[in-house]
């Protein structure tokens, strides 16, 4: 498929992906998200141009996004931890439940039609955007985090939805933490750690899911995409990762310069735009 593209178009794609990687890194640090809300739409357009079959395109985007998020989330998490803003207690409690949820989502990805991924993306991103843009102090579930059993359930839900959206779980965990009165800066910093809990098992799960789909359908050759391992595109990850990792610390520094309300509005508007993009694509 790459050979069918003119050299000028191929160069443009490489430059665009490297640029998108830089934007992804800034967003990872700024919003505590792994960048999947940028990565998935960009990869979707790339794979469409390269004529990846429709029924494989969305899971390939999601799996590749999770792989890309691994180093980006790590860089973002380390930058926030240096500032002492991460709630490590919540992360430790969430570790196992989130991993369980991610693995469940990966199993669903093996059998789900592409519309499922888009609908989950739209619903979660849309709800998160409304919560952040029209936020009121009264929009809370409590002033303190719930007990350990409820937090573990939240962890499983975050894991499942994140693995189906191809995100690092940042926007979901940020939403949940702010609903319980946690300051936005602490929520963003803690969410950067959630990205690691989601992305590593998520990428491995999508590799497994893609291999399973290929085994069930012999007509699928390397998922119709060069250098793909299961539902993870190695070339897509290779073009995104360098610039995204380099730029993550810039976003983290910017996040701590913004006021609480400005940070909420910025994240809310960003999520709303992405939500509208996928709604149009349905």
Task: Compare 269 and 259 and report the one with higher pLDDT.
Answer: 269
What does pLDDT average to over the chain?
75
| For range 70-85, the mean pLDDT | 77
Which of the 8 DSSP states describes residue 229?
E
Inform me whether the pLDDT recorded for 176 exceeds 70. yes
Alpha-carbon span 282 to 280, nearest angstrom: 6
| For range 271-275, the mean pLDDT | 77
Alpha-carbon span 233 to 212, nearest angstrom: 16
Range of the domain at 185: 2-281
Alpha-carbon span 201 to 199, nearest angstrom: 6
Run of H or E residues at 206: helix 184-216
pLDDT of residue 215: 54
pLDDT of residue 10: 65
Alpha-carbon span 72 to 161, nearest angstrom: 19
Residue percentage of the chain with pLDDT more than 70: 77
| For range 102-115, the mean pLDDT | 79
Structure tokens at 239: 């073009």
Ordered DSSP codes for 57-75: HHHHHHHHHHHHHHHHHHH
pLDDT tens across 185-211, in order?
777 777 778 878 888 888 888 888 777
Inform me whether the pLDDT recorded for 219 exceeds 60. no
CA 116 to chain centre: 16
pLDDT tens across 13-37, in order?
677 777 777 777 776 666 655 566 6
Alpha-carbon span 208 to 88, nearest angstrom: 30
Q: Give the CA distances from residue 121 to residues 167, 173, 261, in Å, rounded to whole numbers and listed in that order.
A: 9, 15, 24
Task: Compare 88 and 155 and report the one with higher pLDDT.
Answer: 155
| For range 102-126, the mean pLDDT | 79
pLDDT tens across 123-141, in order?
877 877 787 787 665 666 6
- Answer yes or no: are the C-beta atoms of 166 and 62 closer than 8 Å: yes
Which among 70, 74, 62, 66 is positioned nearest to 29, based on CA atoms? 74
pLDDT of residue 173: 79
pTM, 2 dp = 0.70
Alpha-carbon span 3 to 10, nearest angstrom: 9
Q: Which of 1-15, 223-237, 254-268 shows the lowest mean pLDDT across its residues?
A: 1-15
Number of domains the chain is built from: 1
Alpha-carbon span 238 to 143, nearest angstrom: 43
């Amino acid at each position: 498929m790459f050979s069918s593209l003119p050299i000028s178009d191929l160069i443009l794609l490489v430059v665009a992906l490297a640029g998108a990687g830089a934007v992804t890194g800034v967003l990872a640090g700024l919003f505590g998200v792994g960048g999947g809300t940028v990565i998935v739409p960009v990869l979707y357009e790339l794979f469409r141009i390269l004529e990846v079959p429709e029924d494989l395109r969305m899971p390939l985007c999601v799996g590749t996004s999770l792989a890309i998020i691994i180093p980006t989330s790590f860089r973002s998490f380390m930058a926030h931890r240096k500032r002492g803003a991460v709630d490590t207690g919540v992360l430790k409690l969430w570790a196992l439940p989130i991993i369980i949820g991610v693995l469940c989502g990966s199993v669903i990805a093996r059998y789900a039609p592409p519309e499922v991924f888009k609908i989950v993306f739209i619903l979660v991103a849309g709800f998160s955007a409304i919560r952040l843009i029209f936020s009121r102090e009264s929009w809370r579930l409590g002033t303190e985090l719930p007990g350990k059993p409820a937090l573990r359930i939240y962890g499983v839900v975050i894991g499942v939805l994140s693995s189906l959206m191809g995100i690092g779980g940042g926007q979901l965990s940020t939403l949940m933490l702010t609903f319980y009165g946690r300051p936005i800066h602490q929520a963003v910093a803690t969410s950067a750690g959630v990205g690691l809990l989601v992305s590593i098992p998520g990428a491995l799960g999508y590799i497994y899911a893609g291999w399973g789909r290929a085994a069930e359908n012999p007509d699928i050759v390397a998922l119709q995409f060069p250098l793909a391992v299961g539902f993870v595109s190695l070339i897509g990850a290779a073009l995104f990762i360098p610039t995204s990792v380099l730029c993550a610390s810039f976003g983290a520094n910017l996040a701590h310069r913004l006021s609480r309300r400005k940070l909420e509005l910025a994240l809310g508007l960003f999520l709303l735009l992405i939500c509208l993009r996928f709604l149009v694509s349905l």
